[in-house]
Amino acid sequence: MLNNVAVILLDGVHPFELGVVCEVFGLDRSDEGLPVYDFAVASAEGPTLSTHAGFSVSVPYGLERLEEADLIAVPAGSNYTERTYPPELLDALRRAADRGARVLSVCSGVFVLGAAGLLDGRRCTVHWRHADALTRRHPRAIVEPDVLYVDEHPVVTSAGTAAGIDACLHIVRKEQGPEVANAIARRMVVPPHRAGGQAQYVERPLPRSRCDTVGEVLVWMERHLDEEVTVEQLAARAHMSPRTFARRFQQETGTTPYRWILRQRVLLAQRLLEATDETMDTIADRTGFGTAAALRHQFVRSLGTTPQAYRRTFRGPEAAA
């Protein structure tokens, strides 16, 4: 149950990312029948902190406020990619995750979670400009730089700036249902869910890493999601043996070819459900699932809802019909 929410601040916090969490969880919307959270802002570095915008904030609570929180949010801040963090904060975050509390990062706040060891072996994301730094600093993390947020319970990480809104609303949706999340989104005048990923916001392609050998194959895969392909076929396209290709693919994407294709197919299905009136059979064909039943199975498995319910939520009952 999501009731008690705490935001933990460090010196140099970014006001917008802090404001995102405050806006979603810190306002009293009981006049609309919406939940009221036990919300507080806490400090890891004393009662007065600077922001990167040049003003200071006074914070009444310390780390003790985290002990009972159901959700702890860590907003972005200046130099978070390079600095060290108070050991007592990292201990508090580890204890929270161990007892099942959700821990959320907004943009570069993910570096705090990494320092606490909460990213090891987990998928995560961050603003695309920090993705390489996150990979270097926390090599055991599985960084996905092309998504808006990643939910690897109990850790939720989000990309830059407004992606924190997406992650916060996702948590509300998951814990308290789409009606609550949609109502909060309406009050904020933001979409309850955005399909797609960070790539649409990048002004130029992400730089290739020195070991990027599957990039061209990824482009081809994305353009042929409706086709059935094997690892052997993909390996031949990359001029590698299947075993070498599978290993390189895992190293460079953090996942397997099958899971990568499946995720891209689900994302494409989401976009088609939101933006078109195409039938389930047509969408299943265009996304490579083949049948409406297979589309439904994978959609429910990935998102926890049916394609029809998804379309109804984001386009209205008339579109779903």
Q: Supply the CATH number for residue 14's domain.
A: 3.40.50.880
Residue 318 in this model has a pLDDT that exceeds 60: no
In this structure, the answer to whether residues 82 and 167 fall within a common structural domain is yes
| Domain edge (last residue) among 188, 203, 225 | 188
202 domain residue, yes or no = no
| Residue 113: burial class (beta carbons within 10 Å; 0-12, 13-18, 19+) | buried
Residue 270 in this model has a pLDDT that exceeds 90: no
Q: Which is it for the CA torsion 172, 304, 246, 214, positive or negative?
A: negative
Closest CA to 131 of 74, 196, 202: 202
How many structural domains is the chain composed of? 2
Do the beta carbons of residue 321 and residue 309 sit within 8 Å? no
CA 16 to chain centre: 18
Q: How many angstroms separate the Cα of 51 from the Cα of each of 9, 58, 159?
A: 10, 11, 20
Do the beta carbons of residue 100 and residue 131 sit within 8 Å? no
232 domain residue, yes or no = yes
What is the per-residue pLDDT across 68-104, written as a single tens digit (0 to 9) for each?
Answer: 999 999 999 998 888 999 999 999 999 999 999 999 9
Q: How many angstroms separate the Cα of 319 from the Cα of each of 90, 195, 315?
A: 47, 17, 6
DSSP string computed for 98-139: HTT-EEEEEGGGHHHHHHTTTTTT-EE---GGGHHHHHHH-T
Per-residue model confidence (pLDDT) at position 160? 82
Could you tell me the residue range of the domain that residue 114 belongs to? 4-188
Per-residue model confidence (pLDDT) at position 195? 57
In this structure, the answer to whether residues 106 and 221 fall within a common structural domain is no
Question: What global pTM score does this model have?
Answer: 0.65
Do the beta carbons of residue 77 and residue 52 sit within 8 Å? yes
236 domain residue, yes or no = yes
User: Which are the contacts of 127, defined by CB distance < 8 A and separation ≥ 6?
Assistant: 107, 108, 159, 160, 161, 163, 198
What is the per-residue pLDDT across 171-206, written as a single tens digit (0 to 9) for each?
Answer: 999 899 888 988 999 899 887 776 555 643 444 444
195 domain residue, yes or no = no
Do the beta carbons of residue 221 and residue 263 sit within 8 Å? no
Q: If pLDDT is split at 50, 70 and 90, which confidence band does 165 have? A: very high
How far is residue 39's CA from residue 35's CA, in Å, rounded to a whole number?
11
In this structure, the answer to whether residues 167 and 223 fall within a common structural domain is no
Q: What is the CATH number of the domain that holds 239?
A: 1.10.10.60
3-state secondary structure of 28: coil
Per-residue model confidence (pLDDT) at position 207? 41
Per-residue model confidence (pLDDT) at position 319? 53
